[in-house]
């Protein structure tokens, strides 16, 4: 190993990120190289000064008390008195599957997809999803950054789909893809939920259809949720539970905050 | 599971990370009072999203929520701090030792506050990776997850943060002064 190879690895070496073989190679190189030895010592000295000279702020006792009180308040509030937005978060997290909140929201929010209108499209979305997850073409643009995914899709379509990331809610955006739906190219947003993949097909809503809350269907074991909102039609397809899928689609149809 | 049982498990998993949460929030908000508010908010959010926690590393998961809460706070209170740009000018200008009043010079003579101040003056994107690495000793992959950036970016930000600290004129001034005093 020479300096060109060793220098960029010194930080990773001192952070304990190298495997034993690479570490040994660095150690061997540093023995014979003053420059790299100086650099390694600088890193070590900075670290030890941070450890000794810079305060680590531990949580004050009052904060422990505040947090416990806040948690008690949060869990003692009956779920169906929560504001709508909170209820959505509960659903997204799937935290209360089978509990009062879920059942409540389910009755309020759900409708069975109108099969007369939707059969072909439902079948098409499921076929698209199955094809993508079976093959290797799950993502055309892999990024959790909506500012990357949105321009990529807009550049290839005659509309610009709203793109949102819900990492904080456990539904990270994985990227985007182009598909065909109803004879037209369509933007597909790909989300992850635990080990599941969720495809959401987005296209402009036709004739300014009124916003609708999600309707769901099941086909060949996949759940499909459909909603209209934010000027778009949203079709979610996945093997996740219907309530998670439905809440994602509802959130997308509500548009960016 | 009842909400109460959920909360018990939540407290077991998350409350042991309260120091890490507070330290991160304290360094990102640079203020104890605001850090407390942010951590409380983060705990409430984390409880709501608890089921999205897949088991595994509770610390990285919780710190992700805390960081989001910190950034929401920064957006509301100090939007200029999270503006894009590498901010190296800020750190290089902020600590001009020639500008110190005698009182400040005395205050800063303790190297403790000098290094801490230099860290506090790092642009927030560098500060957070440094805090997660040096204090929490998170591996690069966990830092990448918490900050939501690729591992390569974790490495380049860490390198930049360390270079900024080592170049900080404030630290040099103090090193020179103490070297002078020893002579």
Question: Least CA distance to A97: which residue of chain B?
Answer: B1
Write phi, then psi, for A149 (nearest 5 degrees). Answer: -70, -45
What percent of chain B is modeled with pLDDT above 90? 46
Residues contacting residue B58 through CB under 8 Å, at least 6 positions apart: B13, B14, B16, B17
Q: Please report residues of A whose CB lies closer than 8 A to that of B21.
A: 59
Q: What is the mean pLDDT of residues B37-45?
A: 93
- Contact (CB, 8 A) for A1 and A26: yes
B96: pLDDT strictly greater than 50: no
Cα A90 to Cα A170: distance, rounded to the nearest angstrom: 11
Confidence at residue A36, expressed as pLDDT on a 0 to 100 scale: 92
Cα A31 to Cα A40: distance, rounded to the nearest angstrom: 11
Secondary structure of residue A237 in the 3-state scheme? strand
B157: pLDDT strictly greater than 90: yes
A-facing residues of B in 131-170 (CB < 8 A) are 133-135, 139-140, 148, 155, 158-159, 162, 165-166
Tokens of B103: 């009182």
Task: Please tell me the least confidently modeled range out of A149-153, B6-10, B16-20.
Answer: B6-10
Q: Please report residues of A whose CB lies closer than 8 A to that of B134.
A: 47, 50-51
Confidence at residue A105, expressed as pLDDT on a 0 to 100 scale: 39
Of the candidates A46, A75, A93, the beta carbon closest to that of B165 is on A46
B23: pLDDT strictly greater than 50: yes
Question: Least CA distance to B43: which residue of chain A?
Answer: A67
Tokens of A223: 């759940």
Confidence at residue A46, expressed as pLDDT on a 0 to 100 scale: 92
> How confident is the model over B44-83, as pLDDT tens digits?
998 888 877 766 788 899 999 999 999 999 999 988 887 6
B180: pLDDT strictly greater than 60: no
Confidence at residue A143, expressed as pLDDT on a 0 to 100 scale: 85
pTM assigned to the model = 0.54
DSSP alpha helix (H) spans, B15-110: 18-29, 32-48, 58-77, 88-94, 102-109
Confidence at residue B147, expressed as pLDDT on a 0 to 100 scale: 94
Model confidence band, residue B14 (pLDDT cutoffs 50, 70, 90): confident
B182: pLDDT strictly greater than 50: no
- Contact (CB, 8 A) for A184 and A201: no
Q: Would the CB atoms of B22 and A58 count as touching at under 8 Å?
A: yes
How many contacts (CB atoms, under 8 Å) link A and B? 131
Stretch (H or E) spanning A154? helix A146-154
CA distances from B57 to A111, A158, B8, B52 (A): 38, 43, 18, 13
Confidence at residue B158, expressed as pLDDT on a 0 to 100 scale: 95
Q: What is the mean pLDDT of chain B?
A: 79
ipTM > 0.85? no
Edge-to-edge order in the sheet of strand A232-238: A141-142, A173-181, A184-193, A196-204, A232-238, A222-229, A212-219
Model confidence band, residue B87 (pLDDT cutoffs 50, 70, 90): very low
Specify the higher pLDDT residue, A97 or B99: B99
Q: What is the mean pLDDT of residues B144-169?
A: 90
Q: Would the CB atoms of A63 and B36 count as touching at under 8 Å?
A: yes
Residue whose entry in the numeric block shows the structure tokens 């509770």? B58
- Contact (CB, 8 A) for A1 and A25: yes
Cα B18 to Cα B43: distance, rounded to the nearest angstrom: 9
CA distances from A225 to A21, A197, A238, B92, B165 (A): 50, 14, 9, 53, 51
Residues of chain A short of pLDDT 50, as ranges, are 79-117
Residue whose entry in the numeric block shows the structure tokens 């010194």? A10
Beta bridge partners, A233, equal A203, A228
């Amino acid at each position: 190993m020479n300096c060109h190879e060793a220098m960029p690895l010194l930080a990773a070496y001192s952070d304990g990120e190298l495997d034993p073989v690479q570490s040994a190679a660095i150690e061997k190189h540093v023995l014979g190289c003053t420059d790299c030895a100086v650099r390694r010592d600088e890193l070590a000295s900075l670290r030890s000064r941070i450890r000794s000279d810079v305060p680590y702020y531990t949580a004050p006792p009052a904060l422990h008390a505040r947090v416990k009180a806040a948690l008690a308040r949060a869990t003692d509030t009956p779920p169906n008195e929560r504001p709508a937005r909170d209820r959505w978060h509960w659903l997204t997290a799937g935290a209360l599957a089978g509990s009062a909140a879920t059942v409540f929201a389910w009755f309020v929010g759900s409708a069975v997809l109108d099969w007369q209108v939707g059969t072909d499209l439902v079948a098409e979305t499921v076929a698209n999803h199955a094809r993508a997850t079976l093959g290797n073409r799950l993502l055309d643009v892999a990024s959790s950054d909506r500012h990357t995914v949105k321009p990529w899709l807009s550049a290839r379509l005659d509309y610009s789909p709203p793109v949102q990331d819900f990492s904080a809610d456990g539904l990270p955006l994985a990227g985007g893809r182009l598909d065909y739906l109803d004879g037209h190219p369509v933007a597909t947003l790909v989300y992850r939920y635990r080990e599941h993949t969720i495809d959401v097909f987005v296209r402009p809503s036709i004739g300014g259809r009124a916003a609708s809350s999600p309707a769901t269907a099941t086909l060949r074991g996949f759940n499909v949720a459909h909603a209209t909102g934010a000027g778009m039609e949203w079709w979610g397809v996945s093997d996740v539970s219907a309530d998670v899928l439905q809440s994602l689609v509802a959130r997308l149809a509500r548009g960016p905050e | 599971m009842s909400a109460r049982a959920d909360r018990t498990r939540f407290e077991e998993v998350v409350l042991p990370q309260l120091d890490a949460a507070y330290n991160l929030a304290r360094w990102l908000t640079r203020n104890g009072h605001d850090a407390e508010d942010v951590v409380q908010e983060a705990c409430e959010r984390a409880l709501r999203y608890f089921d999205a926690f897949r088991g595994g590393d509770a610390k990285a998961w919780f710190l992700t929520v805390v960081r989001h809460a910190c950034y929401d706070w920064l957006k509301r209170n100090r939007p200029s701090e999270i503006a894009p740009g590498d901010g190296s000018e800020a750190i290089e200008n902020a600590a001009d030792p020639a500008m110190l009043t005698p009182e400040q010079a005395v205050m800063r003579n303790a190297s403790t506050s000098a290094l801490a101040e230099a860290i506090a003056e790092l642009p927030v994107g560098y500060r957070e990776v440094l805090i997660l690495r040096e204090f929490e000793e998170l591996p690069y992959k966990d830092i990448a997850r918490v900050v939501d950036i690729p591992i390569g970016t974790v490495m380049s930000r860490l390198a930049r943060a360390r270079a900024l600290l080592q170049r900080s004129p404030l630290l040099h001034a103090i090193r020179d002064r103490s070297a002078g005093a020893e002579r």
